Chain A
Amino acid sequence: MKTEPLSILVRNPLAGVFVALTVIFALSALLSPYFLTPYNLSVIARGLAFVGLITIAQSMLMVLGELDLSLGVIGGLCGVISGILMVKLGIEPYSAMLLAVLLGACLGLFNGLLVTTLRLHSLVLTIGTAGIFGGANLVLTRGVAITGIPKEVQFLGRGDVLGVPVPFLIMLAALAVATFVMVKTPFGRYMYAIGNNQAGARMLGIRVDRIRLLVFVAAGAIAGLAGVLMVARLGTAQPSIGDTWVLAPIAASVIGGVATTGGVGSPIGAIFGAGIIAVIENIIVLFGVSPYWQGIVSGAIVVLAISFDAISRRYLRRENG
């Protein structure tokens, strides 16, 4: 069999983004002596954990052909609710966190029910529900952080196991579960089928709406988990948690090979994409780029990354007829 130099990239869509991540990682290590220090790496990993959880949730929805712009706000609302439950209502902290995650699942259910029963466009609907959830957050907190989160749960956000940040491990566990479900179970196959061709999936007797609903629920729960872990990390329930979790996970998913139109890609690819963004943002800080310029630089690099990806795909397709 003839091997084309780039054929591995065609056969395995993950290879491209993995190579890109490795190259950016190596370049960063060469460019900055601080990059590979354990402290810096753990900063990257801890930051990646939270955006990463949202990225997993968003990429699952994107494979179905849906987008949920309220995931970040769900994270924020669940975070402050967990704070209120444990600090103001004195509920046992772990139970409070669990309840908050369940709330995330319920908010996902709310989105999912509206999308599936009324046949709404998820992107537009979740602009609306994001307003509702975000507003509820402000009504409950009046914009003021809830302090006094018990020390015992802060380990989940701040702690390390063998030098690896705990939230990063939790994100990896969520990634493993999501990947197993999507790659190895019928449920996952049905997700891809729905993302490819919803009518075709119905024709095969797949319970399309039930699966879409369940993925919205799972995404909401994961977003809630991210919010709760962020509270554990900060030690306070900030109303602003989740503000930056809206666009980066979508960009990360696209960089990682998940199409906004659905049907292709995987959470692993999306996490590689999130890794690329995290490393780039880190190296910008290490270089001391003025904070005013950081948005421009990181935005430009995302544009470059997806353009490069699109061009290489087109080139590969031409080679393969």
Chain B
Amino acid sequence: MAYLETHGLGRDFPGVTALDGVDLKIELGRTHILAGENGAGKSTLVKILTGTDQASRGRVLVDGRDPAEDPTLYKNIAYVPQELNLFPQMSVAENLFMPFSRTGHGGALVDRKALVEEARTYLDRFGIEADPRALVAHISVSDQQLLQIARACTNAEMKVLILDEPTSSLTRVEVERVFKVIRALLDRDHAIVFISHKMEEVFEIGDDYTVLRNGEKVDSGRIADITEADLIRAMSGRDLSFEEHFRPETTVGEAIMEVRGLTGARFEDISFDLRKGEILGFAGLVGAGRSEVMQTIFGFQKAKAGSVTVAGKPWALNDTSRSVAGGMLYLSEERKHHGIFPLLSLRENIGISLLSLTTGPLGISDRKERGAVQEIIDAYGIRTAGMGKRIAELSGGNQQKAIIGRAMATRPRVLIFDEPTKGIDIRTKTEIYRIMKRLAEEGVGVILVSSELNELKKCASRIITMHNGRITGDFAATDTNNETLVGAIFGTEAKADEN
């Protein structure tokens, strides 16, 4: 018998069955991949496993016992959500042991010394480089990610650790740190449930897998017995040519945008041309300054020096409304913080960019707005129960499609995608790639910032690499091997060039 099992698990919401008849077996000492597209039911399943939601049918067994009868069993299951969920203005040590009563640091007064001392042992074990007294806001993203995992592991009764896309904002090197921690936990006979959309990671770290689709289990088994293509097919329910390329097939024309000597808070002397008919990729490590460059061109961050011209005319920096009016849009990687208006409906979220079309002398026309929004919902295949639904209730992929659809409606001349497929399932990724390709072929200037080399090689006509706030290379995507690119990303190649 496996340590954690579910039998015929189902969960109904009014009008929707989120889970139906799901059987799951999680064994100790192994990594179990929970695969499925956005909205397949993974989150609902995790909520039931961790006791934050109750099943409508079926049951969960932890070590052969039902946690519905003995809630203390939920203590054996720890969960690390995808979004960072730390207290940024408190120290690493405090974050690690919060709430103090749970970790034996309770009592009327907190013994900071003891806290810091015990924190050191955890930080060593998890390879976290930060000082235990440092504020979480000041440590690196990968340290924060590891800290979240370490915090879950301060629970001495933990047997199963559920990691929801722990690597989505990490670079390849940083992912290795997470994997090291996972392997150490497996050696201590813990079970890991690993949720990720990144196929190479799934095949590297996974032992077993379960695929969910539309709330049902469609496949399960050993990772060693399945190919990447089969796994993708099981998740999406259809064949996806994942080797397909999405580079624009048009000839590259004149420059749409010229950036010269742009300097900002975290980057220096950035110069490049964006040409008509190409997708221009930007590669680099997290923190290389790619997003900062794009946000500065867009006017969201202040430029210190340098100039930008669009279609031969000087471009006003430092003002997002002029950028938008001039036909430039930036789609942020921070969907939650920069993209959606969470309390507003899907209709209002899309409609906000269509107001010039839908507003008449009597104000915003209900009928026109419904029509225009419905067109975007259909054109971009946004799956929703209705346009009146709050956008926060939609899956990440559908939110992203709404953001892209809304951006398209303004007929931009330059469109900057910053990690557009972060946390998004493979099928939706493909749809986004197709949209970028079509736009570039229609003559829109498209920039793609991505931390996934595969994605850049699939989509970009040209790849510019950045390291530490500077451009370190400019490559045609077709005749560049991965080593050259990775070298430029880490700044080694470029130094040789400069000297």
- Which A residues are closer than 8 A to B by beta carbons? 2, 4, 11, 180, 183-186, 189-190, 192-193, 196-197, 199-207, 259, 263-264, 319-321
- Among the 9-residue stretches B213-221, B258-266, B316-324, the one with 4 or more Cβ atoms under 8 Å from chain A is B316-324
28 sampled A-B residue pairs with Cβ under 8 A: A11-B388, A180-B363, A184-B362, A185-B363, A189-B348, A189-B351, A189-B364, A192-B341, A193-B341, A193-B352, A196-B341, A199-B338, A200-B338, A200-B339, A200-B340, A201-B341, A202-B300, A203-B298, A204-B320, A204-B353, A207-B321, A259-B343, A264-B343, A319-B14, A320-B13, A321-B13, A321-B16, A321-B18
User: Are A192 and B344 touching (Cβ within 8 A)?
Assistant: yes
Residues of chain B contacted by A186 (CB below 8 angstroms): 355-356, 359, 364
Q: A185-B359, A203-B320 are in contact. List 20 more A-B contacts (CB 8 A).
A: A11-B388, A184-B363, A186-B364, A189-B348, A189-B364, A196-B342, A196-B343, A197-B337, A197-B342, A200-B337, A200-B338, A202-B320, A203-B332, A203-B338, A204-B324, A205-B325, A259-B343, A263-B341, A320-B13, A321-B13
* B391 closest partner in A (C-beta): A196
* A205 closest partner in B (C-beta): B324
- Minimum Cβ distance to chain B for residue A100 (Å): 30
Assembly CA distance A183 to B352 (angstroms): 12
Assign chain B's interface to a size class.
Answer: 20 to 34
User: Are A204 and B364 touching (Cβ within 8 A)?
Assistant: no
- Minimum Cβ distance to chain A for residue B299 (Å): 9
* B11 closest partner in A (C-beta): A321
- Minimum Cβ distance to chain A for residue B354 (Å): 10
Residues of chain B contacted by A202 (CB below 8 angstroms): 300, 320
User: Are A196 and B353 touching (Cβ within 8 A)?
Assistant: no
User: Are B352 and A204 touching (Cβ within 8 A)?
Assistant: yes
* B15 closest partner in A (C-beta): A2
Residues of chain A contacted by B341 (CB below 8 angstroms): 192-193, 196-197, 200-201, 263
Assembly CA distance A185 to B324 (angstroms): 19
Assembly CA distance A283 to B213 (angstroms): 58
Residues of chain B contacted by A320 (CB below 8 angstroms): 13-14
User: Are B343 and A263 touching (Cβ within 8 A)?
Assistant: yes
* B298 closest partner in A (C-beta): A203
Residues of chain B contacted by A319 (CB below 8 angstroms): 14
0 or 1 for each of B302-342: is its CB under 8 Å from A? (1 = yes): 00000000000000000011111100001010000111111
Residues of chain B contacted by A189 (CB below 8 angstroms): 348, 351-352, 355, 364
Residues of chain B contacted by A183 (CB below 8 angstroms): 363-364
Assembly CA distance A259 to B339 (angstroms): 21
- Minimum Cβ distance to chain B for residue A310 (Å): 16
Assembly CA distance A319 to B388 (angstroms): 18
Assembly CA distance A319 to B12 (angstroms): 10
Name the residue in B332, B341, B364 with the highest tally of chain A Cβ atoms < 10 Å from its Cβ: B341
- Minimum Cβ distance to chain B for residue A25 (Å): 29
Q: A192-B344, A196-B342, A320-B14 are in contact. Are A185 and B364 (CB under 8 A)?
A: yes
Name the residue in B322, B356, B364 with the highest tally of chain A Cβ atoms < 10 Å from its Cβ: B364
* A263 closest partner in B (C-beta): B343
Assembly CA distance A4 to B13 (angstroms): 12
**Residue from B323, B348, B359 in contact with A205 in the complex, judged by beta carbons closer than 8 Å:** B323
Assembly CA distance A204 to B343 (angstroms): 17
- Minimum Cβ distance to chain B for residue A112 (Å): 18
Assembly CA distance A263 to B330 (angstroms): 23
User: Are B339 and A203 touching (Cβ within 8 A)?
Assistant: yes
The 4 closest A-B pairs by CB, nearest first: A205-B324, A184-B363, A321-B13, A196-B341
0 or 1 for each of B1-36: is its CB under 8 Å from A? (1 = yes): 000000000000111101000000000000000000
Assembly CA distance A11 to B352 (angstroms): 20
* A319 closest partner in B (C-beta): B14
0 or 1 for each of B278-307: is its CB under 8 Å from A? (1 = yes): 000000000000000000001010000000
- Minimum Cβ distance to chain A for residue B362 (Å): 7
Assembly CA distance A11 to B388 (angstroms): 8
- Minimum Cβ distance to chain A for residue B372 (Å): 14
0 or 1 for each of B344-385: is its CB under 8 Å from A? (1 = yes): 100010011101100100111000000000000000000000
Assembly CA distance A264 to B339 (angstroms): 17
Q: A203-B320, A203-B330, A205-B321 are in contact. Are A197 and B340 (CB under 8 A)?
A: yes
Residues of chain A contacted by B298 (CB below 8 angstroms): 203
- Minimum Cβ distance to chain B for residue A317 (Å): 10
Assembly CA distance A3 to B398 (angstroms): 26
Assembly CA distance A320 to B12 (angstroms): 10
Assembly CA distance A199 to B364 (angstroms): 24
* B330 closest partner in A (C-beta): A203
- Minimum Cβ distance to chain A for residue B92 (Å): 26
Assembly CA distance A321 to B15 (angstroms): 10
**Residue from A184, A192, A321 in contact with B14 in the complex, judged by beta carbons closer than 8 Å:** A321
* B18 closest partner in A (C-beta): A321
Assembly CA distance A2 to B324 (angstroms): 42
Assembly CA distance A202 to B355 (angstroms): 16
Name the residue in A4, A203, A319, A321 with the highest tally of chain B Cβ atoms < 10 Å from its Cβ: A203
Residues of chain B contacted by A180 (CB below 8 angstroms): 363
- Minimum Cβ distance to chain B for residue A49 (Å): 26
Assembly CA distance A193 to B339 (angstroms): 11
Residues of chain A contacted by B351 (CB below 8 angstroms): 189
- Minimum Cβ distance to chain B for residue A200 (Å): 5
Name the residue in A4, A190, A193, A200 with the highest tally of chain B Cβ atoms < 10 Å from its Cβ: A200
* A184 closest partner in B (C-beta): B363
Assembly CA distance A320 to B388 (angstroms): 14
* A265 closest partner in B (C-beta): B343
- Minimum Cβ distance to chain A for residue B340 (Å): 7
Q: A184-B363, A321-B13, A321-B16 are in contact. Are A263 and B344 (CB under 8 A)?
A: yes
- Minimum Cβ distance to chain A for residue B334 (Å): 8
- Minimum Cβ distance to chain A for residue B170 (Å): 23
Assembly CA distance A189 to B344 (angstroms): 10
- Minimum Cβ distance to chain A for residue B120 (Å): 36
User: Are A193 and B344 touching (Cβ within 8 A)?
Assistant: yes
Residues of chain A contacted by B342 (CB below 8 angstroms): 196-197, 263
Residues of chain B contacted by A193 (CB below 8 angstroms): 341, 344, 352
* B360 closest partner in A (C-beta): A184
Residues of chain A contacted by B321 (CB below 8 angstroms): 205-207
Residues of chain A contacted by B364 (CB below 8 angstroms): 183-186, 189
User: Are A199 and B337 touching (Cβ within 8 A)?
Assistant: yes
* B363 closest partner in A (C-beta): A184
